[in-house]
């Protein structure tokens, strides 16, 4: 799955706005249908970083949408909104202060306020209204899932109309060795599939899939405006007695008049928040702030401290997000900070306990010593500091090479390898492709390494490569994979430079400002892009992907995984599958439809296919279906 391309905080920070948006949409889509999806912590970290670098982005303005499934659509009588996520004591205090301010506007003493704290279930939000069951959908319109309840979902609610979550019993999940995130994916698969797969059906037959109304959950009532420090203990107590998977708690003010006064926006109510569980938090003292330069010239701070165990792992650094976050939170040498680590995400600073006396933001680029300047977001706020040298800044050139080769799935072109290439003057993809073994050895590679790099350069030329991947690899601002594909469904990659802003605006999702920016940058980089296109990649055109022909239609939309020794490399098989209109996955999951096996296919893969209900095909059987 393409969602695998972001697997760490470093990947998040090196991604552009369009790349983050693409990834978040793909991850959400997979999550909603029970497919392979990233850890919650990584998804939340990506959304949080997007909010730092582009707080006005439309993706942040509404509820994450669901794909269409079920037996129809229903308009909610009252919007089913998401909740604002908070992570730290400081975040909770900000929420309390917001409520207190609104209370004073109504003449209510904040000390008399009552708040309800209850478990946040890790399942799929749903509601029953007028006898119809529906999911949240986009908040306004949901998918009708009444048929799913006929499959065996147990309803633990007395009221005819109610709202809650569909979840799996923790005790059942533990008995069959299923982690919480997998349990949630199984529930998603039950709701989104016409034919429930074996593992989901077993859970239904065991009576382990429940709809739990929110008002049936354990809760704790707390009064006043000075209780944020108690939240962790309350959360622990609530979760200890909970029968279902949780990933935090929900905090809501109970005064109806105040709730009405505070209101809602298009995404969330202002009178309620979800405090997410992020793992163990520890205190550290900042010893240094190191600034890294990304491929677009953004300077990103890395906050360093003495070795400390965070989430069970020794660590010495955490992300500082961006220059504005560092300044606003007063993070510099000597500051005491609270850091947390969850899943595969490197530690993140979530709170400043003792601010630094001085916060230093670079005035010159640490890579090329060119001037560094602040940039503003669309609301006019200073957010990032950027190197003004976009031509020959070594760190930017290195990261552009890393990104290019990573996007076209070429291996062995990591940061250290690309740094050697740039230092030797091989600082563009075309120069690297034109290099000889002698040049690579002179750049600092051993003879064996040089041969391996040459082989890796040839591999993407020999196998089929989706044209949108090649276009996205250039890192044009606003052009991630999804938007590159939208363009190339309508226009040939070799005719990009004839496109006008009006041509792009005619494509769904391209606004006027973005369209002008893309066409300007394409023209400015025409020589560079044409030089690479002249290498004659074996391109699969997006228009062909979107309109499979002949017998290939039988497998259109199927999710396929390849394993064992096949007639082509894994990359070639995946590219070919997508040319037939299939979705190639990197590993088996609940959403997988086919497992295509070659020689020496692992027994564990076969067992997983049976567990997930994926059909096992030999390569010959697979080809008979799609070609």
The residue ranges of DSSP E strands in 169-311, in sequence order, are 209-213, 219-223, 246-253, 272-276, 281-293, 298-310
CATH code for the domain in which residue 613 is found: 3.40.50.10190
In this structure, the answer to whether residues 97 and 236 fall within a common structural domain is yes
For 512-521, the pLDDT digits (tens) are: 888 998 999 9
Q: Is residue 7 part of a domain?
A: no
CA 205 to chain centroid: 33
Distance CA 130, CA 494 (A): 55
Q: Decide: helix, strand or coil at residue 302.
A: strand
For 345-388, the pLDDT digits (tens) are: 667 787 888 999 999 999 999 999 999 999 887 667 888 899 99
In this structure, the answer to whether residues 456 and 603 fall within a common structural domain is no
In this structure, the answer to whether residues 489 and 578 fall within a common structural domain is no
262-271, 427-436, 597-606 — which one is most confidently predicted on average?
Answer: 427-436
For 7-57, the pLDDT digits (tens) are: 666 677 667 777 777 778 777 666 555 555 555 667 777 777 777 666 656
Q: Is residue 576 part of a domain?
A: yes
CA 6 to chain centroid: 7
Distances (CA, A) of 566 to 570, 571, 588: 8, 11, 17
Give the total number of structural domains in the chain: 4
Q: Is residue 166 part of a domain?
A: yes
In this structure, the answer to whether residues 400 and 270 fall within a common structural domain is no
In this structure, the answer to whether residues 155 and 246 fall within a common structural domain is yes
Note the pLDDT of residue 279.
63
Give me the mean pLDDT over the 589-598 stretch: 82
- Is residue 552 very low, low, confident or very high in pLDDT (cuts 50, 70, 90)? very low
Q: 20-29, 119-128, 129-138 — which is least confidently predicted?
A: 20-29
* Sign of torsion over alpha carbons 497, 498, 504, 507: negative
Which residue of the set 120, 127, 197, 276 is catalytic?
120
- pLDDT > 60? residue 546: no
Distance CA 257, CA 272 (A): 14
Give me the mean pLDDT over the 100-107 stretch: 94
**What is the share, in percent, of the chain residues with pLDDT greater than 90?**
34
Q: Is residue 382 part of a domain?
A: no
219-233, 268-282, 424-438 — which one is most confidently predicted on average?
Answer: 424-438
Give the end of a domain, one of 462, 481, 498: 462
Give the end of a domain, one of 276, 294, 328: 276
CATH code for the domain in which residue 189 is found: 3.30.470.30
Q: Is residue 230 part of a domain?
A: yes
Distance CA 531, CA 627 (A): 33
Total Cβ atoms within 10 A of residue 391: 8
The residue segments making up the domain with residue 211 are: 62-276
DSSP type of residue 516? H
Give the end of a domain, one of 447, 462, 477: 462
In this structure, the answer to whether residues 71 and 220 fall within a common structural domain is yes
pTM across the whole model: 0.61
Active site (annotated) includes residue 600: no
Note the pLDDT of residue 207.
92
CATH code for the domain in which residue 481 is found: 1.10.150
In this structure, the answer to whether residues 571 and 540 fall within a common structural domain is no
Nearest one of 376, 408, 371 to 390, comparing CA atoms:
371
In this structure, the answer to whether residues 74 and 164 fall within a common structural domain is yes
In this structure, the answer to whether residues 448 and 419 fall within a common structural domain is yes
For 378-402, the pLDDT digits (tens) are: 667 888 899 999 889 999 999 999 9
Q: Are strands 73-75 and 141-143 parallel, antiparallel or unpaired?
A: antiparallel
Q: Is residue 50 part of a domain?
A: no
Nearest one of 37, 39, 20 to 278, comparing CA atoms:
39
**What is the share, in percent, of the chain residues with pLDDT greater than 70?**
88
In this structure, the answer to whether residues 97 and 218 fall within a common structural domain is yes
- pLDDT > 80? residue 169: yes
Q: What is the 3-state secondary structure (H, E, C) of 548-570?
A: CCHHHHHHCCCEEEEECECCCCH
Distance CA 566, CA 582 (A): 18
- pLDDT > 90? residue 446: yes
Give me the mean pLDDT over the 404-429 stretch: 92
- pLDDT > 50? residue 525: yes
Contact 300, 399 (CB under 8 A): no
Q: Is residue 325 part of a domain?
A: no
In this structure, the answer to whether residues 568 and 439 fall within a common structural domain is no
In this structure, the answer to whether residues 257 and 223 fall within a common structural domain is yes
Helix 603-612 vs helix 198-205: crossing angle, to nearest 10: 50
């Amino acid at each position: 799955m393409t969602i695998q391309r972001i697997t760490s905080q470093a990947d998040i920070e090196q991604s552009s706005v369009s790349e983050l948006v693409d990834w978040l949409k793909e991850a959400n889509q997979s999550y909603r249908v029970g497919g392979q999806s990233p850890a919650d912590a990584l998804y939340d970290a990506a959304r949080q970083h997007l909010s730092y670098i582009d707080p006005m982005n439309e993706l942040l303005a509404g509820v994450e949408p669901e794909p269409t499934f079920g037996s129809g659509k229903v308009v909610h009588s009252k919007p089913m909104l998401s909740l604002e996520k908070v992570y730290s004591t400081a975040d909770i205090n900000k929420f309390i202060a917001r409520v207190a301010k609104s209370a004073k506007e109504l003449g209510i003493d904040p000390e008399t306020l009552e708040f309800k704290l209850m478990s946040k279930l890790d399942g799929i939000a749903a509601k029953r209204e007028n006898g119809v069951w529906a999911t949240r959908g986009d908040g306004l319109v949901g998918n009708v899932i009444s048929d799913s309840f006929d499959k065996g979902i147990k309803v633990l609610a007395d009221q005819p109309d109610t709202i809650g979550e569909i979840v799996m019993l923790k005790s059942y999940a533990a008995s069959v060795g299923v982690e919480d995130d997998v349990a949630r994916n199984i529930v998603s698969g039950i709701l989104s599939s016409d034919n429930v797969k074996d593992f989901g059906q077993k859970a239904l037959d065991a009576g382990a899939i429940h709809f739990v109304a929110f008002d049936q959950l354990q809760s704790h009532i707390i009064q006043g405006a000075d209780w944020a420090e108690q939240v962790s203990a309350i959360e622990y107590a609530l979760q200890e007695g909970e029968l279902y998977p949780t990933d935090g708690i929900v905090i809501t003010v109970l005064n109806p008049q105040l709730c009405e006064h505070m209101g809602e926006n298009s995404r969330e109510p202002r009178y309620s928040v979800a405090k997410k569980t992020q793992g163990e938090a520890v205190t550290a003292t900042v010893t240094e702030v190191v600034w890294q330069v990304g491929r677009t010239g953004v300077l990103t701070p890395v906050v360093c401290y003495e070795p400390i165990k965070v989430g069970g792992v020794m660590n010495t650094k955490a992300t500082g997000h961006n220059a504005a976050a560092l300044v606003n939170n007063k993070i510099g040498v000597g500051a005491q900070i609270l850091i947390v680590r969850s899943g595969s995400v490197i530690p993140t600073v979530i709170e400043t306990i003792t601010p630094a006396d001085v916060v230093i933001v670079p005035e010159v680029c640490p890579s090329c010593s060119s001037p560094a300047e602040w940039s503003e977001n669309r609301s006019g706020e200073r957010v990032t500091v950027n190197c003004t040298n976009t031509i020959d800044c070594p760190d930017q050139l290195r990261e552009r090479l890393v990104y290019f080769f990573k996007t076209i799935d070429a291996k062995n072109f990591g940061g250290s390898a690309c740094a050697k290439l740039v230092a030797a003057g091989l600082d563009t993809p075309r120069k690297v492709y034109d290099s000889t073994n002698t040049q690579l050895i002179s750049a600092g590679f051993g003879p064996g390494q040089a041969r391996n790099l040459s082989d890796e350069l040839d591999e993407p030329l020999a196998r089929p490569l989706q044209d949108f991947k090649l276009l996205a690899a250039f890192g044009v601002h606003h052009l991630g994979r999804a938007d590159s594909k939208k363009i190339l469904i309508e226009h040939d990659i070799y005719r990009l430079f004839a496109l006008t802003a009006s041509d792009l605006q005619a494509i769904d999702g391209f606004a006027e400002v973005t369209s002008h920016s893309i066409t300007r940058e394409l023209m400015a980089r025409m020589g560079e892009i044409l030089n690479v296109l002249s290498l004659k990649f074996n391109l699969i055109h997006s228009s062909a992907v979107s309109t499979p022909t002949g017998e290939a239609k039988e497998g259109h939309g199927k999710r396929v995984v390849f394993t064992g020794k096949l007639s082509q490399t894994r990359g070639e098989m995946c590219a070919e599958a997508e040319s037939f209109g299939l979705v190639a996955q990197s590993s088996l999951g609940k959403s997988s439809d086919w497992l295509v096996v070659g020689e020496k296919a692992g027994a564990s893969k076969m067992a997983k296919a049976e567990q997930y209900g994926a059909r096992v095909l030999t390569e010959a059987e697979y080809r008979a279906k799609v070609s």
